[in-house]
Amino acid sequence: MINNNLIIFIPSIESGGVEKNLFLITNYLVNKFRNITIITASQNISKFDKKIKIIKPKKNNYFLKFRYVKIIISIFF
């Protein structure tokens, strides 16, 4: 196990190939890194391992449907 932290910044998690790979890779890396944190503005986080810390807005607003708004909110976090 690597004693480092890993932070992944992905403002928008939608349904697609990149997101599928994100789920697969982060769930694999959860056994390799001590702490993994994902910063996102999306609410679609059900496929991540429970050991992964997710930083996201508490509720889904209408404005979070726009990609640029998700990027700005994710940078704020």
pLDDT tens, N- to C-terminus, the chain (77 residues): 557 888 888 877 777 777 788 888 888 888 888 889 988 877 777 778 888 888 887 766 555 566 667 777 777 76
What is the length of the chain? 77
Q: What does DSSP say about strands 53-55 and 33-39: parallel, antiparallel, or unpaired?
A: parallel
CA separation (Å) from 53 to 58, 62, 68? 14, 24, 23
Domain count, the chain: 1
The boundaries of the domain holding residue 35 are 2-76
Task: Give the tokens for residue 71.
Answer: 């990027």
Coil, helix or strand for 68? helix
Predicted local distance difference test score (pLDDT) of residue 65: 63
